[in-house]
Amino acid sequence: MEVRSELLYTEEHEWMRIDGNICTMGITDFAQDALTDIVYVELPEIGTIIESGEVIGNIESVKAVSELYSPITGEVVDINRSLEEEPELINTEPYDNGWIVKLQIDPGEVNSASLLTEEAYLKLTEKAD
Amino acid sequence: MTDNMKRTPLYDWHLSHGAKMGDFGGYEMPLWYTAGPKDEHLSVVSNSGIFDTSHMAAVSVKGAGAFDLLQHCFTKDLSACIGPARKQLVAGRCVYGVFLNETGGVIDDALVYMNGADAYTIIVNAGMGQQVSDHLKHHADGKNVDILDLTDQLGKIDVQGPVAAKIVSTLIQDPETVFEKMPYFSFKGDFFGDPVEAGEVRLTDGTPILLSRTGYTGEFGFEIFLKAEQTVALWEKLIEAGKAFEVLPCGLASRDSLRAGAVLPLSHQDIGNWPFINNPWPFALPYNEDSSGFTKPFFGAASLADPDKHEVTQAFVGFDPRKVIPGEDVVVLDDALTPIGTVLTCATDMAIARHEGRIFSIASEDRPTDLKFRGLCCGFVKTSSRLATGQIVMLQAGKRQLKVEIVEDVRPARTARRAMAKMI
């Protein structure tokens, strides 16, 4: 299982890349492996305001339907439209071309969003195994 | 996983080949292997897949009273069940039906194989050997019959998909003779090597098998029964022989999505302890020609007498791969958004897509060349009254609503019934 040091994580197995006031989100390698073949991704509309803890999308695998939660308040400024054609990108490149949504956020809120470091997330997945 | 979970002879093979394991009927079974459930599903439709189904239970019923016992307990009329002419069951043929309790609810569904005069083998679901045996013994009072649970003595492997006969032909003695006169729902050979009228089937090394032209994927293929201790050797040979045909080992997830697309019920989910009537499987009941009654009396029949009193189970198909996970919070809504029923099965058949109001399969010869197959959700709903074919209903799970269409059939171009001559 791959975990990347430059990313932050949630207990729901999402990753975030914070770049100034832009937060790119996806699901982790652990999550895509547990979900197995992803067949459909429900993306939010650009311009949607998402409150911290709200559902931002749905990820459907052959096995399950799982909701994607935003750990941070922000406005949807971009969505990965290539997932409409190739949802399996989340399986094959969860941290790269499998990104799901970009939010414009207040960087000051990142610290209060209780995100996990690589190390803390690894511990979480070890427990889950 | 708890320690009391049962394992099939192939357990170690599954683990050493990257299978994701899960509980099914008390057995620790492969859900999928490294290829994943989507590729396994597609492989069965376009090539073939190999399934460990050794968890299924087998019960032997032998003796002068066997026929009468099965006529009483099994829904199919064994004296009138083969072909359009409704001939009687003969050695080398098998039939699908169910065992009912006194309220008409399903104890389990089953295939009954006629091995010879007064000798039958009943194949039921994982963990059901004991319960079905007990049910039969309860009704066998005074009848000359021996009932024996063979589950732990037998292994079972399903080879399903259009190239199944090509693979099996490389592993058995005299395949031309074996495949001759082998229609859907027939079998040859015996798992213990006992002589049978329909002719024996042996692997090239002499191992006796029972080769059955059946399965539960909707695709052409075989179920192979043999002694438990010989299961791993045959499995490895099938995997090896299948490599030339790009065949995959397949887990229970793809088995579930394949059977849902083929409109086949999963026992204890789509059929269960409610009256076995008003569903897409009337062929499991012994209806007379104008469906005004049954051709024989059988246990549980009285509770099926008034169909209008009971709920209706129907197949549906969606418009994209999205699905709901059946549970207490999932309801079926009609046009007025009134709750009218529940969802029994919802799975994604990855081999199908919609185009201009029609469903195509990756196996449809006339599929549009640019059609992308992303899959469609499908399954069964149980509602308070019958819905018209083509009617649109909503499946609601929490805030999500999925639009689906009530249908008679789902995945087109299935191969299960195709003539053997076209498949070898």
Chain A residues lying within 8 Å of B325, measured CB to CB: 64-65
* Identity of the residue in A36, A65, A91 whose CB atom sits nearest the CB atom of B32: A36
Residue-by-residue pLDDT tens, chain B, 424 positions: 456 899 999 999 999 999 999 999 999 999 999 999 999 999 999 999 999 999 999 999 999 999 999 999 999 999 999 998 999 999 999 999 999 999 999 999 999 999 999 999 999 999 999 999 999 999 998 899 999 999 999 999 999 999 999 999 999 999 999 999 999 999 999 999 998 888 899 999 999 999 999 999 999 999 999 999 999 999 999 999 999 999 999 999 999 999 999 999 999 999 999 999 999 999 999 999 999 999 999 999 999 998 999 999 999 999 999 999 998 889 999 999 999 999 999 999 999 999 999 999 999 999 999 999 999 999 999 999 999 999 999 999 988 899 999 999 999 999 999 999 999 9
* Interchain CB distance below 8 Å, B321 and A37: no
C-alpha to C-alpha distance for B237 and B172, rounded to whole angstroms:
11
The DSSP letter of residue B287 is B
* Identity of the residue in B348, B372, B397 whose CB atom sits nearest the CB atom of A62: B348
> How far is A85 from chain B, CA to nearest CA, in Å?
9
- Domains plus CATH for chain A? 14-106 (2.40.50.100)
What is the residue-averaged pLDDT of chain A?
93
Rounded to two decimals, the ipTM of the complex is 0.80
Question: Which residues lie across from B370 on neighbouring strands?
Answer: none
Placement of tokens 């979970």 in the chain: B5
| Count of CA atoms in the C-beta half-sphere (13 A) of B418 | 20
pLDDT band at residue A39, thresholds of 50, 70 and 90? very high
Instruction: Name every residue whose Cβ is closer than 8 Å to that of residue B43 and which is 6 or more positions away in sequence.
Output: B35, B49, B161, B246, B247, B248, B250
C-alpha to C-alpha distance for B348 and B343, rounded to whole angstroms:
14
Asked if B138 reaches chain A (Cβ–Cβ under 8 Å), the answer is no
Instruction: Name every residue whose Cβ is closer than 8 Å to that of residue B135 and which is 6 or more positions away in sequence.
Output: B73, B99, B107
Asked if A40 reaches chain B (Cβ–Cβ under 8 Å), the answer is yes
Chain B residues lying within 8 Å of A37, measured CB to CB: 36-39, 350
State the amino acid at position A50 in one-letter form.
Answer: I
φ, ψ (nearest 5 deg) of residue A125: -70, -30
Contact B262, B352 (CB under 8 A): no
pTM for the full predicted model: 0.94
Instruction: Check pLDDT > 60 for residue A29.
Output: yes
pLDDT of residue B3: 66
Question: Which residues lie across from A41 on neighbouring strands?
Answer: A59
pLDDT of residue B400: 87
CA angle at residue B199 from B198 to B202, to 5 degrees?
A: 135
* Identity of the residue in A55, A62, A64 whose CB atom sits nearest the CB atom of B38: A62
The DSSP letter of residue B206 is S
* Interchain CB distance below 8 Å, A65 and B322: yes
Asked if B260 reaches chain A (Cβ–Cβ under 8 Å), the answer is no
* Interchain CB distance below 8 Å, A62 and B324: no
